[in-house]
Chain A
């Protein structure tokens, strides 16, 4: 039987290859994702291992809770105790903050995802950076820059440049160019500058503070031993003491959870879509070939093959196709990982990476999924093949028997659709954790896709009926024939179209979803902001120097400059933003959408009242008049009485208090200022005011001045970047579905060989033959496109409605939908190229004599 399987595959090379491609691309994406994220994981591990390589013990602050966005600091005085501990050879405080150098007026910062770091320079015996030219900075006013910056800026040792700090720009001199670790690991897009501890403390308002304390052991003292010694020398509850290795593992796992895992699961989700689309195509291809081989199977049965053996032939074929496709996909995955890494870099999300690695897990997952899905998708067609009676070998024009399950298709499909809808409703509405909600949402969507694919066969005829009118008008007799051909085998057309439907459906969905996100931001700017200009801090989580507020207020034409600051807090173990506003001016620049309370509640905030955003109030189960206890990340806590609730999931999304009440809850270096809302005086020229603001802030390069229109543009551009990534990832699924159309057409043409011969002999030209096939493909792709658009709109609408309280608004993307429909038609035309050429090239005589 194996021989028969192999012989069969080799005689049907094109078909086998097209089928293999359907699964190959999905496997490529899976293995590529695993390779890439393994690379990122390993890069993080290497980065932190190298960072801790020279250190035996690290002392870290112990905040009351962890927050990804907030750096916490400890008291640098503790270094005395550490140095005094037994076995300590050398101990130094160390700080990391965000900042960057400016070379010839150009900021050497990172505007994409990766951070721009300034590290305090510790002695070379502890420092993960080593100078490759010059030396490490020691005196105030000296810096060293990493090789990446040196290459980009062409700055050399001895150059005078400036450093953008929390306290404005500072003149500094480059004394060294440094390399991280052994230079083998790319740090992605992040930039690093080394500056002496004293400068970092002064310029980032961190006097007396440190991020970590590093300690090196005397010869013969183990890391564990030193850890115990240091632990004993320090107060019990304020700090964490770890060995260098423990610290490296923890840091790597934190970043990996933050970046690597998210990328991994997001990409695997798209790979899953690609595999699902591939499964549809494999199912369809095997259904068609089993039907075409009815007589062959019947003949095998007459000469003594058992049903099991027939099943084995079909499944065996699937197994071999799946195996070959998965192996090739695995290899292509390496290329995919490389390309994806370059792509991320090109769009400003540079990721750290090491050389390519192919882990055995990646190999196993790719092979199991690739082979598993192929075999699974072939099982139904294989079972149908076993139902063929031996007598069929002797009859002309036998078709496959209709299975019992097939008659129940509509019922089964409706049950699946109902399950899917339930899953989606649960995913949107339940209180469960995000992961399980997302999984049920995705599962629900898959079930609905499957159900629609099963039901699609019933709409093929009516849809073709409608389409055939314009097509016959456009293409005449061959247009009519194309319509008839598409409707001839509705199940086949339906499943082929369904594969495209999934890709298009998700494209429409992400368009609506991301459009909703954009609308939630831009809409909030329109409805909530009364201010004309906003000053914010560049980079994430950054706060503005205090001087910014005074500089802004002094600009002529500025009527109101209202400062806003904040910090991370916890209430009932939920991490939230505590927002400090200037209660005298905030209502001039910001319009509260009150649920209870009024602008008067803002004026009366005082030291102990708070306003709570509505969704947060609901989740905290508090109402006006209730007390809430707020735990700050700096260890302090405070209690506020709820004075009002308002709706704003975007701009002031948190708990609003007066800035005076925020002060005691801030970390020592925080200025309590991250935004200044500016109102221009009546009659002031907005361009002049904005230019004056920019001029007033030249000493504060971390401050960014934006008009409302510019803010919206920025939102739109980052949203577009996200959309481009989504589109690129979904494009693969669409491409796979095109192979499905190619495959179905090739198989149909093969089975209609004699018909094509007849049509050609009675005067159908090659051009007409190509047109016929092309229209057939276009009809299929229109069905797929329309179903996809409808499902995409439905999913988009459901998710936007479900997340309305988070600010997501449903916007109907008319223009994009027209574009997607046109693109599906184009897709059909492209898919038809090869099959149309084959059909047109058939030799008339041979085709006529074909049996």
Chain B
């Protein structure tokens, strides 16, 4: 795990990969109105590993879904690598996700009939582009999956499967990778492997990673930790230790 302590919560808009301005997401109307997001403004600079935390219903998942172009805000703006998401149709959003965004899911979401290597290459194959062989080799090396590449997901451990998923997200060198509880379905040992890989992606390859998690030890590897409650950012801190994170969470509940 990295020991680097650099806090850059106030990155300038120019080098920010993801910029959200005054995001609101409202479900329902009148009495039953629920504000999942209530005027959130935040930006994520290139090369930062950010963790988004908060209790259930705080809006952290909604925030990530909107930033990743999977959901539409009720109001506000999102820029991903300079592209405004508001007003993009499904086709354009899909292509944006394909070209600029990588995903790591809680349940890995690998295709059971494809080998590890094929799963890694899947998004690029769908895009009809050829992966950069050298880069792929570097990734395989980094993930430590060299001997498991021809195996199907069912023959891999959870940690290995999630490392395949991380490699899949990294292969197209997206502007940003979103992680949705990437360790939520792993034990502590295998989570370590995956977190390590994410950390290296940022440190060694300059990747930008934003992950939603409620695992304090996962958030503890981040360069920056955001806390949400009731659809608002209540704390935007730099790197925090697991203990500090747990303390903050206690104050939120």
A768 to B122, CA, bound (A): 13
**Contact of A763 with B70 in the complex, beta carbons under 8 Å:** no
* Residue among A480, A485, A757, A766 making CB contact with B90, cutoff 8 Å: A766
**Contact of B113 with A762 in the complex, beta carbons under 8 Å:** no
Contacting residues, chain A, for B114 (C-beta < 8 A): 484
Contacting residues, chain A, for B124 (C-beta < 8 A): 477
Contacting residues, chain A, for B173 (C-beta < 8 A): none
Q: Which of A476, A754, A757, A844 has most B Cβ within 10 Å?
A: A844
Contacting residues, chain B, for A758 (C-beta < 8 A): 103, 105, 109
Contacting residues, chain A, for B168 (C-beta < 8 A): 762
Interface size class on chain B is: 20 to 34
**Contact of B95 with A755 in the complex, beta carbons under 8 Å:** no
* Residue among A476, A761, A767 making CB contact with B97, cutoff 8 Å: A761
**Contact of A476 with B123 in the complex, beta carbons under 8 Å:** no
Digitize A728-765: 1 where CB-to-B-CB distance is under 8 Å, 0 elsewhere: 00000000000000000000000000110111111111
Q: In the complex, how many angstroms separate the beta carbon of B172 from the nearest chain A beta carbon?
A: 9
Contacting residues, chain B, for A762 (C-beta < 8 A): 97-98, 102-103, 122-123, 126, 168
**In this assembly, does A488 line the interface, its C-beta being within 8 Å of a C-beta of chain B?**
yes
Closest to B169 in A: A762
**Contact of B113 with A487 in the complex, beta carbons under 8 Å:** yes
Contacting residues, chain B, for A484 (C-beta < 8 A): 111, 113-114
**Contact of A763 with B99 in the complex, beta carbons under 8 Å:** yes
A43 to B105, CA, bound (A): 71
Q: In the complex, how many angstroms separate the beta carbon of A393 from the nearest chain B beta carbon?
A: 19
**In this assembly, does B28 line the interface, its C-beta being within 8 Å of a C-beta of chain A?**
no
**With contacts A484-B111, A844-B70 known, is A477 near B94, CB below 8 A?**
no
**Contact of B70 with A761 in the complex, beta carbons under 8 Å:** yes
* Residue among B68, B105, B112, B126 making CB contact with A764, cutoff 8 Å: B126
Q: In the complex, how many angstroms separate the beta carbon of A190 from the nearest chain B beta carbon?
A: 63
Contacting residues, chain A, for B86 (C-beta < 8 A): none
Would you list which residues of chain B between 63 and 116 have a CB under 8 Å from chain A?
65, 68, 70-71, 90-91, 94-95, 97-99, 102-103, 105, 107, 109, 111-114
**In this assembly, does B30 line the interface, its C-beta being within 8 Å of a C-beta of chain A?**
no
Contacting residues, chain A, for B103 (C-beta < 8 A): 758, 761-762
A481 to B109, CA, bound (A): 15
Contacting residues, chain B, for A488 (C-beta < 8 A): 112-113
Q: In the complex, how many angstroms separate the beta carbon of A445 from the nearest chain B beta carbon?
A: 35
**Contact of A760 with B94 in the complex, beta carbons under 8 Å:** yes
Q: In the complex, how many angstroms separate the beta carbon of A328 from the nearest chain B beta carbon?
A: 38
Q: In the complex, how many angstroms separate the beta carbon of B55 from the nearest chain A beta carbon?
A: 18
Contacting residues, chain B, for A754 (C-beta < 8 A): 107, 109
**With contacts A761-B103, A762-B103, A845-B71 known, is A476 near B94, CB below 8 A?**
no
**In this assembly, does A389 line the interface, its C-beta being within 8 Å of a C-beta of chain B?**
no
**Contact of A763 with B107 in the complex, beta carbons under 8 Å:** no
Number of A residues contacting the other chain (C-beta, 8 Å)? Answer: 26
**In this assembly, does A790 line the interface, its C-beta being within 8 Å of a C-beta of chain B?**
no
**In this assembly, does B235 line the interface, its C-beta being within 8 Å of a C-beta of chain A?**
no
**Contact of B91 with A768 in the complex, beta carbons under 8 Å:** no
Closest to B124 in A: A477
**Contact of A755 with B128 in the complex, beta carbons under 8 Å:** no
**Contact of B70 with A845 in the complex, beta carbons under 8 Å:** yes
**Contact of B94 with A764 in the complex, beta carbons under 8 Å:** yes
Digitize B119-137: 1 where CB-to-A-CB distance is under 8 Å, 0 elsewhere: 0001111111000000000
Q: In the complex, how many angstroms separate the beta carbon of B154 from the nearest chain A beta carbon?
A: 8
**Contact of B123 with A763 in the complex, beta carbons under 8 Å:** yes
Q: In the complex, how many angstroms separate the beta carbon of B187 from the nearest chain A beta carbon?
A: 14
Contacting residues, chain B, for A755 (C-beta < 8 A): 109, 111
**In this assembly, does A848 line the interface, its C-beta being within 8 Å of a C-beta of chain B?**
yes
Contacting residues, chain A, for B98 (C-beta < 8 A): 762-765
Digitize A451-494: 1 where CB-to-B-CB distance is under 8 Å, 0 elsewhere: 00000000000000000000000001110110011011000000
**Contact of A763 with B113 in the complex, beta carbons under 8 Å:** no
Contacting residues, chain B, for A848 (C-beta < 8 A): 70, 105, 109
Closest to B109 in A: A758
A768 to B94, CA, bound (A): 11
Q: In the complex, how many angstroms separate the beta carbon of A490 from the nearest chain B beta carbon?
A: 11
Q: In the complex, how many angstroms separate the beta carbon of A259 from the nearest chain B beta carbon?
A: 56
**Contact of B91 with A766 in the complex, beta carbons under 8 Å:** yes
Digitize A301-344: 1 where CB-to-B-CB distance is under 8 Å, 0 elsewhere: 00000000000000000000000000000000000000000000
Q: In the complex, how many angstroms separate the beta carbon of B153 from the nearest chain A beta carbon?
A: 11
A850 to B250, CA, bound (A): 31
A767 to B128, CA, bound (A): 14
A643 to B5, CA, bound (A): 116
Closest to B107 in A: A754
Q: Which of B94, B122, B125 has most A Cβ within 10 Å?
A: B94
Q: Which of A484, A761, A763, A768 has most B Cβ within 10 Å?
A: A763
What are 5 inter-chain pairs, A to B, with CB distance below 8 A?
Answer: A476-B125, A760-B94, A762-B102, A762-B123, A765-B98
> Which B residues are within 8 Å of any A CB, using their own CB?
65, 68, 70-71, 90-91, 94-95, 97-99, 102-103, 105, 107, 109, 111-114, 122-128, 168
- Interchain residue pairs A-B with the least CB separation, the first 10: A763-B98, A477-B125, A758-B109, A477-B126, A762-B123, A484-B113, A765-B94, A476-B128, A488-B113, A763-B97
